[in-house]
Structure 1
Amino acid sequence: MKVVKLGKHEIAISRIVLGDVSWIFEELGDNMQIASVECWEQLVFATILALKSFERGTNKAKTVKGEILLRLAGTLQIGEAIKKVGAKKGENFIVAFGQNARKTLEDFLKKNSLKEIPLVDCDVEKVKRLFEQAAIVEAL
């Protein structure tokens, strides 16, 4: 698990493996999201952008969770975003955000008997490209 502090926000992220994804959406709180993406860094960045967009009132989605998916996918269509970066069988990243994000994520993992797998940093050039994709939603 990694934790990033951003002003009053705390963002905690973990990498997990799911055999079945059908149950997890009902369990996720409003301050959590799960995504099937290449790099943990892109999910943290998309979460930061989503939180900032709600603070500024420039969000495109109705919820922070939806905004995160839009930014990860680089689209304004939530259905397209879900298909592209939504949770899938296998490896996924799960993020919690808010004042007690670390505890929220730890409790969620424990309650649902989910085992973390190590987070591996992505190549810097790949991360830059993924950050640009997340940021493009501002211009759409």
Structure 2
Amino acid sequence: MKVLNHGTIKIAIAKILLEDTADIFEILPDNVQILNIKCWEQVAFSTILALKSFERKTNKAKTIKGEILLRASGTLQIKDAIKAVGAKKGENFMVAFGENAEKDLQEILSKIPAEEIPFNDCEKEEVKKLFEKAALVDVL
């Protein structure tokens, strides 16, 4: 698990091996999202951009969780974002944000049928492309 600080808000990220996505969304609180993407850096950047967009009132989605999906996918349509980066069986990232992000993430991990697995940094060039994709939502 990685924990980052964005001002007063903490962001906690874990990589999980998800067996089943059927009931998982009913369990997730408003400050936790699951993304099926390759790089944890993309999760962090998409979450920071989503939080900033709500602070500036430039958000495109109705919820921060939805905004994270839009940012991670680089699209403005929630259904397209879910198809592109929404939780799927296999390896996913789970992100929690807020004052108690780490505690919230650990609590959810204990309730869902998923195993936490280790993760590494992605290649810098790949991360750069993913950051550009996430930032695109501001100009679309």
For 2:20 and 2:115, locate their aligned partners in 1 and report how far apart those are by CA, in whole Å: 14
SS of residue paired to 1:37: coil
Structure-1 separation of matches of 2:132 and 2:22: 31
What is the distance in 1 between the residues matched to 2:3 and 2:138? Answer: 25
Other structure's SS at 1:115 match: strand
**1:43-122 paired onto structure 2 within 5 Å:** 43-112=43-112, 114-122=114-122
| Structure 1 consecutive aligned stretches of length 4 or more whose deviation exceeds 6 Å | none
The match for 2:39 is: 39
Instruction: Point out the more displaced range, 5-14 or 103-112.
Output: 103-112
Residue 114 of structure 2 aligns to a residue in which SS? Answer: coil
SS of match in other structure, 1:11: strand
Aligned residues: 140
Equivalent in the alignment of 2:2: 2
Larger mean Cα displacement after TM superposition, 14-23 or 52-61:
14-23
Q: Sequence identity of aligned pairs in percent?
A: 63
Secondary structure, counterpart of 1:119 in structure 2: coil
Alpha-carbon distance between aligned partners in 2 of 1:71 and 1:38, rounded to the nearest angstrom:
14
Q: TM-score, normalised by structure 1?
A: 0.98
Alignment check: 8 A CA contact 2:2 2:13 kept: yes
Aligned residue in 2 for 1:22: 22
Give the CA deviation at 1:111.
2.5
SS of the aligned residue for 1:30 comes to coil
Q: Which moved more, 1:27-36 or 1:111-120?
A: 111-120
| CA RMSD after TM alignment | 0.8
Give the match's secondary structure for 1:87: coil
- Does structure 1 conserve the Cα–Cα contact (< 8 Å) formed by 2:18 and 2:113? no
Whole-angstrom distance in 1 between the partners of 2:62 and 2:11: 20
Q: Gapped runs of 5+ residues in structure 2?
A: none
Distance 1:24 1:42 in 2: 22
Q: Normalising by the residue count of structure 2, what TM-score does the alignment of the two structures yield? A: 0.98
How far the C-alpha of 1:8 sits from its partner, in A, is 1.0
Contact 2:60–2:67, Cα closer than 8 Å, also in 1: yes
Within 2, Cα distance between the matches of 1:114 and 1:81?
Answer: 22
- Residue-by-residue CA offset, 1:24-75 (whole Å, 9 max, x unaligned): 1111100010010010110110000000000000000000000000011101
